[in-house]
Amino acid sequence: MNHPEAISDDLYREIILDHYTCPRHKGHLETATHRLEGVNPSCGDMVELDLEVRDGRVVEVGFVGEGCSISMASASMLAESVRGQTLDQVRLLADTFKARLLTKGRIPEPPEGVEIGELEALDGVRAYPVRIKCALLAWNTLLEAIEDER
């Protein structure tokens, strides 16, 4: 009989592998209003994130990059998660996701109105501190890209 934790681990691995092998929104945007490159110097992972922001909302997202399965799956999941969101919603989601990975102990509950969805699959990265930077690369790049929109 499978334990619930084993089923969750398998499902989470499957979600990460799916986003890595079939990334969503991969490619540059011709309509990008923001483009920023993020690099993880400790491992060489790189992501270039394109955003089309109109009237305070992320209309479209694209990315290109090279790196491990965690960093590329996280970038794909980011693109799925923030598309259509207001910049305030994007910041709150990014801050919530980062808190999940960086908090020691129990994972904090997301604030009301924040949907974690498939991003929960990356919670397992917490067990491998050296991989947390991989999972956060695209998210830190996103926050830096929209910093001037405040």
Give the CATH number of the domain where residue 112 resides. Answer: 3.90.1010.10
Residue 148: CB partners within 8 Å, gap ≥ 6? none
Question: What residue type is assigned to position 136 of the chain?
Answer: L
Which structure tokens are listed for 55?
């009237």
**Which stretches within the chain are classed as H helix?**
4-21, 69-82, 87-102, 129-146
pTM of the model: 0.90
Ordered per-residue pLDDT tens for the chain, 150 residues = 444 444 456 667 899 999 999 999 999 999 999 999 999 998 899 999 999 999 999 999 999 999 999 999 999 999 999 999 999 999 999 999 999 999 988 888 899 999 999 999 999 899 889 999 999 999 999 999 998 776
Q: What are the two backbone dihedrals, phi and then psi, of residue 53, each rounded to the nearest 5 degrees?
A: -110, 125
CA gap 119, 123 in Å, rounded: 8
Quote the number of domains for the chain.
1
**Which class for 22: exposed (0-12), middle (13-18), buried (19 or more C-beta within 10 A)?**
exposed
Task: Please report the pLDDT score of residue 122 as a whole number.
Answer: 94
Range of the domain at 135: 4-149
Helix (H, G, I), strand (E, B) or coil at 53: strand
Task: Please report the pLDDT score of residue 75 as a whole number.
Answer: 98
Task: Please report the pLDDT score of residue 36 as a whole number.
Answer: 96
